[in-house]
Amino acid sequence: MVFSVSSLPFSLPALLLVFSLHVSTPTAHLHQNQSFSFPIFTLPLSGNSSALSHFRHSVQLISPPMRNHFLYQSALSAQLAIGSPPQIQYMMLDTATDFTWVPCGSSEGDPIFISTSSQSFSPLSCNALACWFPREDGSILISCSSQYICQYSFTYTNINQPRGYFASDVINFPQTNYPGYRITFGCRSNSTELTGVLGLNLGMLSFVKQSNIPRFSYCIPGHKPQARGTLVIGNNPNSASLKYTRLQSIGNKNLPYYDYDAYSLKIQGIMVGNRVLSILSSVFEPGHMGAGQTIISSATLFTHLVMDAYREVRREFLRQNWKLVSKVSTMYAGLGGLDLCFELGSAGSNYIEGLSGVVLVFDGGVELRVEKDKLLAELEPGLWCFTFGGTDLVGLRASIIGTYHQQDLWVEYDIDGAAIGFAPADCSKLS
């Protein structure tokens, strides 16, 4: 399935990519040579700096405001059709979770999923399979209602979400003849949110596992006026140009801080400019408790590295770009989880021209090149921040590759091949 993106001018602290469908495929299963194509467009979100200090995330269907913590400043969102007859629902695409949930209501006219209007909707009873797999990390607490319905309480990005219940229904792609999939998901009652979450990691309940999708990929446009890009579910016609790095796997299945369902990569090294940093390879290896893996995410804006690696990147970036040192701001340290900010006023773009790029080198020599125009982001008028941060700043136990550094790249999640593919592209010209 291919999705295509149109974008309004980009503005921080938040970027919303909304997908809407434009193809038809009548077959019941994705074959190797099939893909679906959807246009997506970016919505500039409110520049209110308070968005950088809260986890709560609230979305209006089309327009701002949007309130979110930096881990959810950026969201890839798709229009999906749920139920029979189908109801259009916005769903954020999150490769960091397998838990799909939909805001559910009971009143006609609400801009959320009305479960009582779907003939194919079915609440899950307490003896359903999903009700017997509580999370070891405590993110989902399961209970049984007096009506013998499987209930849950879900913690998402450190916020306790309202209680809901498990259900199943048909999830489809609008404006297609595709028959869709019956998916188990969470139905959030009394929700003030208008956007759900489509879980896309490797966990048992994820959409890709339940629907048996072999791969998906996206190309996020850079911050250009009216930019357009593409998201693909299924076989990507551009796969020949991608360089693939294997997903990391470890033999020990009992490490408490290791996320076994994440898309985990192995960093071999980091370059700033032409200099390879002296970082021990063990820095990028999970420790004896599992902390320290590197995860690629569709739901995190900026990249955060484990502290030993981040300190080296930060030091070398300042050494090579010494003209920025006198502009370092101490007032805004920690803004958006970033601790290296500069007061550049209206001259920010001039400084960007002289920056040295950063290259992340993954297993197999596959490179993710962060060009100079992706190294600084204007979080407040005149305030530009280095778009790498350290994990300690945000309380993470893993390095996270954020979407800001995935702009103008094909990024493919090859589930069948257990690999992630990268290729440079002008994502604004793919529609």
Run of H or E residues at 269: strand 267-272
Highest-confidence segment of 5-9, 33-37, 106-110, 154-158: 106-110
Q: What per-residue confidence (pLDDT) applies to 406?
A: 94
193 CB contacts (<8 Å, ≥6 apart)? Answer: 57, 58, 59, 103
Tokens standing for residue 76: 């890839």
Tokens standing for residue 152: 């849950």
Q: What per-residue confidence (pLDDT) applies to 9?
A: 31
Q: Give the span between the Cα atoms of 149 and 394, in whole angstroms.
A: 36
Residue 361 pairs in a beta bridge with: 269, 367
Q: Give the span between the Cα atoms of 149 and 128, in whole angstroms.
A: 9
Torsion 327-333-338-339 (CA) sign: positive
96 CB contacts (<8 Å, ≥6 apart)? Answer: 201, 262, 295, 297, 298, 299, 300
pLDDT for 410-419, tens place per residue?
Answer: 999 999 999 9
Least confident of 73-77, 116-120, 321-325, 335-339: 73-77
Closest CA to 374 of 394, 395, 360: 360
- 78 pLDDT tier (thresholds 50, 70, 90): confident
In the block, tokens 């530009």 appear at 384
Contact call for residues 41 and 21 (beta carbons, < 8 A): no
Least confident of 129-143, 194-208, 303-317, 335-349: 129-143
Tokens standing for residue 176: 């297609």
Stretch(es) of the chain classified as CATH 2.40.70.10: 2-234, 239-429
Run of H or E residues at 316: helix 307-320
Q: State what percent of residues in the chain have pLDDT above 70.
A: 74
Q: What per-residue confidence (pLDDT) applies to 49?
A: 27
Is the pLDDT confidence value at 115 over 80?
yes
Residue 269 pairs in a beta bridge with: 361
163 CB contacts (<8 Å, ≥6 apart)? Answer: 151, 152, 153, 189
Average pLDDT over residues 1-8: 38
Run of H or E residues at 307: helix 307-320
Is the pLDDT confidence value at 203 over 80?
yes
Look at strands 66-67 and 58-59 and give their pairing. antiparallel
**How would you class 183 by CB atoms within 10 Å of its CB: exposed for 0-12, middle for 13-18, buried for 19 or more?**
buried
Q: Give the span between the Cα atoms of 137 and 140, in whole angstroms.
A: 8
Report the top-level CATH class of 2-234. mainly beta
Q: What per-residue confidence (pLDDT) applies to 171?
A: 92
In the block, tokens 């030091």 appear at 315
Residue type, 63: S
| Arch. (CATH architecture) of 239-429 | Beta Barrel (2.40)
Q: Give the span between the Cα atoms of 220 and 68, in whole angstroms.
A: 20
Average pLDDT over residues 313-333: 88
Closest CA to 79 of 37, 121, 21, 118: 21
Tokens standing for residue 101: 């949930």
Torsion 49-52-53-55 (CA) sign: positive
- 234 pLDDT tier (thresholds 50, 70, 90): confident
Residue type, 123: P
Output 120 or 111, whichever has higher pLDDT: 120
Output 27 or 216, whichever has higher pLDDT: 216
Average pLDDT over residues 28-40: 55
Look over the chain and give the mean of its residue pLDDT values, rounded to a whole number.
Answer: 79
pLDDT for 352-364, tens place per residue?
Answer: 988 999 999 999 9
Is the pLDDT confidence value at 389 over 90?
yes
Average pLDDT over residues 376-380: 89
**Buried/exposed 2-28: b ≥16 CB within 10 Å, e otherwise:** bbbbbbeebbbbbbbbbbbbbbebeee
Residue 191 CA: distances (Å) to CA of 79, 105, 114, 139: 18, 8, 12, 18
Output 172 or 174, whichever has higher pLDDT: 172
Look at strands 358-362 and 264-265 and give their pairing. unpaired
> In terms of pTM, does the model score above 0.85?
no
Least confident of 76-85, 263-272, 316-325: 76-85
- 301 pLDDT tier (thresholds 50, 70, 90): confident
